[in-house]
Chain A
């Protein structure tokens, strides 16, 4: 029995340090790392789809505001033709138009940069960066809407003081 003990010890040492045993010890973390990588890739892909959709939504909002500003411009032109002093209203609308151009440029910048932000960050971090950027664009859009409202307020005043406009607008 005593003679068997050293042999058993050697067998155990060899067994634990053999390539097969080493392989068994490293295969679990490797498989786990691969699975984690796959999860990260899936999240990056779904974040990319989410951003592609959001960019379209942001562009649609910019288009809407631009169309409204065109209609306000058309009204200013009509009032100007009737002899109204549209200087203030035009200045206000010009400021709004430049804000629309800026918002469109910011959406385009986000559209160009989001793939890089997603690929070079963990999904969690990438989402926070993109969320902050989108909220900044949303604030710009809200500001444009407020400006359009102010422009229209000035146009409304002009419209009411110009003969016939009150009836035409049904006010």
Chain B
């Protein structure tokens, strides 16, 4: 009788352990899914922002508004930082 009770207790503990492991796996999976989608920064969104029309004057406006200043805008700051003496 005691042996039967002990084996049922072991089963309960095993089941509980399994449930905890399962819950942990689900938590990890959800966390990974959230990280997998990187959000675009304000800067990227501003660069990509444009109209959707195929109207010639609208496209022309967006071509004229395209500038690449942000590519090398802060080169000077980084350059002076890496060139500073030790």
Residues of A within 8 A of B (CB): 35-36, 39, 43, 46-47, 50, 53-54, 56-61, 63-65, 67-68, 71-72, 74-75, 78, 123-124, 126-127, 131, 134-135, 137-138, 141-142, 145, 148-149, 152, 155-156, 159, 165, 168-171
Chain B facing A: main interface SS: helix
Residues of B within 8 A of A (CB): 40-41, 43-45, 47-48, 50-60, 62-63, 66, 68, 70-72, 74-75, 78-79, 81-83, 86
Q: In the complex the two chains form, is A159's CB within 8 Å of B68's CB?
A: no
Of chain A, the residue at the smallest CB distance from B43 is A57
Bound state CA distance, A120 and B81, in angstroms? 19
Q: Which residues of the partner chain B approach A135 to less than 8 Å between Cβ atoms?
A: 72
Of chain B, the residue at the smallest CB distance from A72 is B59
If A65-B66, A72-B59, A168-B55 touch, does A60 touch B78 (CB 8 Å cutoff)?
no
Bound state CA distance, A57 and B69, in angstroms? 10
If A65-B66, A141-B71, A148-B63 touch, does A47 touch B54 (CB 8 Å cutoff)?
no
Bound state CA distance, A67 and B54, in angstroms? 11
Q: Which residues of the partner chain B approach A142 to less than 8 Å between Cβ atoms?
A: 68
Tell me the minimal C-beta distance from A78 to chain B in angstroms: 7
If A39-B86, A47-B78, A155-B56 touch, does A68 touch B66 (CB 8 Å cutoff)?
yes
Pick from A36, A46, A75, A123: contact of B59, CB under 8 Å: A75
Of chain B, the residue at the smallest CB distance from A49 is B78
Q: Which residues of the partner chain A approach B59 to less than 8 Å between Cβ atoms?
A: 68, 71-72, 75, 152
